[in-house]
Amino acid sequence: MPVDIDIAKVARLARLALDDEELERYRQQCEVVLEHAARVQALPTDGVPPTSHPLPRTNAFRDDVVTECLDREEVLSQAPERDGDYFLVPRILDEA
């Protein structure tokens, strides 16, 4: 079952910088996945509720109780850049 995939768009959305050889390799891999999905989609599923999860479980909740947080110094030490008690990130919008 042939599928059409814009692998460059998928890479862009995932912020992946891929060269032509990689694009082609991942396109082929994604194609296999999508072909499988297309086969599943072709099955008669009238009256079958959509399966969002394979586990036969619902309502896995926790109580609204506060637990311990991480140490700020330990957290910020993992950041590429920091400014005082904050994470520092490059400017967000390109356009002025």
Partner 1 sequence: MMAYEPVIGIETHVELTTASKMFCGCPVDFGAPPNTNVCPVCLGLPGALPVVNGTAVEYAMTIGLALNCDIAAHSVFARKNYFYPDMPKNYQISQFDEPLCVDGHLDIDTGDGPVPVGITRVHMEEDTGKSTHIGEGGRIHAATHSLIDFNRAGVPLMEIVSEPDIRSAEQARAFVTELREVVLRLGVSDAKLEEGSMRFDGNISLRPEGTEAFGTKVEIKNMNSIRSLQRALNHEIERQTALLEAGEAVVQETRHWNEETGTTSGMRSKEESFDYRYFPEPDLVPVAVDDEWRERVTARLPELPAQAYGRYLDMGLDGPVAAVISRDVEYGSVFEAAVAAGGTPQMVANWLTGEVTALLRRTESTLAESAINGTALAELSSMVADGTLSASAAKDVLAGVAAGEGTPDEVAASRDLIQVSDSAALEPIVDEVLAANAEAVEKLRAGDGKVVGFLIGQVMRATGGKADPGAVSEIIRSRAG
43 makes contact with partner 1 (CB under 8 A): no
17 makes contact with partner 1 (CB under 8 A): no
Backbone angles phi, psi at 32, to 5 degrees: -60, -45
What are the tokens at 88?
């520092």
Task: Select from 2, 4, 58, 80 the one that contacts partner 1 (CB under 8 A).
Answer: 58
80 makes contact with partner 1 (CB under 8 A): no
Reference 30, options 8, 62, 47; nearest CA is 8
Q: What is the distance between the alpha carbons of residues 47 and 15, in angstroms, rounded to a whole number?
A: 39
21 vs 47, which CB is nearer to partner 1?
47
Task: Select from 3, 24, 33, 86 the one that contacts partner 1 (CB under 8 A).
Answer: 86
